[in-house]
Amino acid sequence: MKNGRTFIKRVVLDYWPYWVGGVLLGILNTLLACFDKPWGITGNIAQWGLAVCRAAGGQPETWFYVWDEPLKLNFAELLFSRGTVINLGVIMGVMLAAVLAAEFRVKKVKSARQLALGIAGGLLMGYGARLALGCNIGGLVNGIASQSLHGWVFGLFLILGAWAGSMFMKYLVSKNGN
């Protein structure tokens, strides 16, 4: 089974080492910071949620919040806002890299359990990111990089949450017959 090693050379080493990715993301993040603010993701997703909420008759504009970019609740305005352009750009950039390598594939939902975990995880992430004012990138990386205390506090408690989640996942897999 030695040709496993040759396979790495042919395809998997085409993947860039993590540190190269880290350095490049840091440079791109700095470029974004030249345009007003460093990289952030969830603030924009929250604004889409609020826009839907307002379209359904809610009044989210009256809720107190610290926004990282101006609150836009009109779908057309939101589509061509900085946050949406970055988020959609990330999705399309990933897709571009995948199709160029002929690795793109529509991946079906595996099981009801996976779907339930995904929705629960999404809800917790959305709620948590809004309380903490940022996600891994906007809160942790850029909080620390901007020398804001909240980045360090967020990171510390993030580790706690990730530990609990890891133990939970380990328990689920050990219990499941799969």
Partner 1 sequence: MKKNRQKRLSLGVIGFITAFGLAAFVADKRLLVIWGIGIALGFVLYRSGICFASAFRDVFLFRDFSMTRMVIILTGVSFVGIGIIQAIAASRGLPVTGRIYPVGFHTAVGGVLFGFGMVLAGGCASGTLQRIGEGFILFLTVLLGIAAGSVLGVYHFSWWVNSFFSTDAVFIPDFIGWIPGLVLTPVLLGGLYLVTVAIEKRKR
Partner 2 sequence: MAEIKLDMLGEVCPVPLLTAQKFIGEMKSGDTLSVETDYNRTVRNIIKWCDDMGYDFNIEDKDDGVWLVTIEKK
Half-sphere exposure of 49 (CA within 13 A, CB side): 10
Q: Tell me: does residue 25 bind partner 2 (CB under 8 A).
A: no
Range 119-158, binding partner 1 (CB under 8 A) = 119-151, 153-158
Query: Which residues neighbour 55 within 8 Å (Cβ) at sequence distance 6 or greater?
Result: 75
Among partner 1, partner 2, none, residue 40 binds (CB under 5-8 Å by kind): partner 1
Which span sits near partner 2 by CB under 8 A: 56-64, 82-90, 103-111, 124-132? 103-111
Q: Of the candidates 36, 107, 147, 149, which one interacts with partner 2 according to CB under 8 A? A: 107
Considering only the C-alpha atoms of the chain, give the largest distance between any 2 of them, rounded to a whole number of Å: 64
Q: Of the candidates 91, 109, 112, 131, which one interacts with partner 2 according to CB under 8 A? A: 109
DSSP run (H or E) holding 121:
helix 112-132
Task: Give the number of other CB atoms < 10 A from CB of residue 143.
Answer: 23
Range 75-104, binding partner 1 (CB under 8 A) = 80, 82, 85-104
What type of residue sits at position 20? V
Half-sphere exposure of 125 (CA within 13 A, CB side): 15
Q: List interacting residues with partner 2 (CB under 8 A).
A: 1-4, 7-8, 11-12, 15, 98, 102-105, 107-110, 114, 166, 169-170, 173-174, 178
